[in-house]
Amino acid sequence: MTQKGFTMKGVSIEIADLSVSYGGTQVLTGIDLSIAPGEFIALLGPSGCGKTTLLRTLAGFVPAAAGEVRVDGQDVTGLPPEKRGMAMMFQSYALWPHMTVAENISFPLRIRRQPKAMVTAQVQRMLTLVGLDGFADRNVTRLSGGQRQRVALARALAVDPPVLLLDEPLSNLDARIRLSMRHEVKSLQKQLGLTAILVTHDREEAMAMADRVVILDHGTVAQAGTPEEIYHRPVSPYVAAFMGAENTCAVSLRHEGDRIALSGQQIRGTADLPVRAVNSRVRQDGPAAVFFRGDAARIAVPGETGSGDRDGHLTLSGRVSLHSYLGNVYRHTVDIGGSPFLVDHPVRMDVGVAVDVCVPAAALHIFERTGSAAATPAGEQFAQTH
Ligand SMILES: Nc1ncnc2c1ncn2[C@@H]1O[C@H](COP(=O)(O)OP(=O)(O)OP(=O)(O)O)[C@@H](O)[C@H]1O
């Protein structure tokens, strides 16, 4: 254990072909992931996709059915939790209600029978680290949610773990405190150089905190990348929709040199787009599915703007069927060929008005159309994933 200063350092974690089953049900399949020392990873995905199971398997609370977990090159797959050098922080804080702040923080040190002077010094360091100087003797039941979360963080860090596992640690906090705690946890993790893995179903939280986001889909890795990569370059309709690009329509795609031409029932004319600008995963001409975010599109009144203004855009024509005010923009539901599309616009458009929805090439994600994909109304196909 570190005796002076905060010199905790992260370690690498290698997850190789990891599978996990509960009884006869396989919940994680062939997970491969390399985590660098000091990296902050977020495991993101809808309820039941296996995020917590992966975290608990790394911690050693759930056995692996196959595959390996290596920490700093050492195979820890068969080791008990206390031998893995990982500390876990939970959503529920899991503090001892009958103990003071200092007693809670020192608990893991006392059960490891650390010398008293060292325990006292470490508790004081942790209090300073999480901004709770002066709270040592306060009972934890007399703390706010944010303060309790800091105690839980201090207790997890007290043993100088090279790896910090965070299981939805902020979801019990109110929205304002959650935002500030995001930054506090992240800056502490960077300051200490720890390797951290966060489980969350909140994509904004994942993007705000992590260096890399791993999106899980039914126990497999759907995509792992920087927040920018998964947001702007999703590799599948599942990732695109999970990252908010839920508007979708079926198109027919044709490559023409360095341009892509899109046509379809819901599209006005033919969209002629520079191939470099579009996130297209389609290599062959034929049926495809387009996905885009409602805040990346804009609404135009047909005839009010020149057609030249819409070059490099995909234009869909429809009618406003609903609007709601979000504070900075109006969110409109636009009925396009019988399917609802959600589009943000700074000005409120009346219900029933005919509008064009213009989507810039850079906001388009195009994937191969398989089966009935994208033939369904926007959102319906992915409704269960949110
Ligand atoms: N102890 C258990 N025994 C049997 N099945 C379990 C157990 N824990 C979880 N599962 C199942 O394993 C699957 C993955 O669960 P897990 O808790 O890892 O998902 P998650 O992505 O963390 O979900 P959430 O966001 O709701 O916490 C789910 O289908 C769940 O029902």
Is pLDDT at 382 greater than 80 in this prediction? no
Cα separation, 33 vs 69, in Å, equals 10
**Given pLDDT bands bounded at 50, 70 and 90, which one contains residue 381?**
very low
**Given pLDDT bands bounded at 50, 70 and 90, which one contains residue 371?**
low
- pLDDT tens-digit profile of 82-116? 889 898 887 766 788 899 999 999 998 888 888 88
pTM, full prediction: 0.87
- Helices and strands counted in the chain (H then E): 8, 21
pLDDT value of residue 375: 36
- pLDDT tens-digit profile of 160-205? 889 999 998 887 777 777 888 888 889 889 988 999 999 999 999 9
Cα separation, 251 vs 268, in Å, equals 11
Cα separation, 138 vs 136, in Å, equals 6
- pLDDT tens-digit profile of 265-316? 888 888 999 999 999 999 999 999 999 999 999 998 877 654 444 558 899 9
pLDDT value of residue 112: 84
pLDDT value of residue 253: 96
Q: Indicate which residue's Cα is closest to atom 28 of ligand 1.
A: 48
Cα separation, 268 vs 360, in Å, equals 14
Instruction: Tell how far the Cα of 49 is from the centroid of ligand 1, in angstroms.
Output: 7
Beta carbons within 10 angstroms of residue 179's beta carbon: 14
Ligand 1 atom closest to the CA of 45, numbered from 1 = 21
pLDDT value of residue 145: 83
Instruction: Tell how far the Cα of 170 is from the centroid of ligand 1, in angstroms.
Output: 19
All domains in the chain, ordered by first residue: 13-232 (3.40.50.300), 247-385 (2.40.50.140)
**Given pLDDT bands bounded at 50, 70 and 90, which one contains residue 379?**
very low
Instruction: Tell how far the Cα of 48 is from the centroid of ligand 1, in angstroms.
Output: 5
Is this prediction's ipTM beyond 0.90?
Answer: yes
Cα separation, 72 vs 93, in Å, equals 28
* DSSP per-residue string spanning 166-181: EESTTTTS-HHHHHHH
Residue 24 to residues 16, 20, 62, Cα–Cα distance (Å): 21, 10, 14
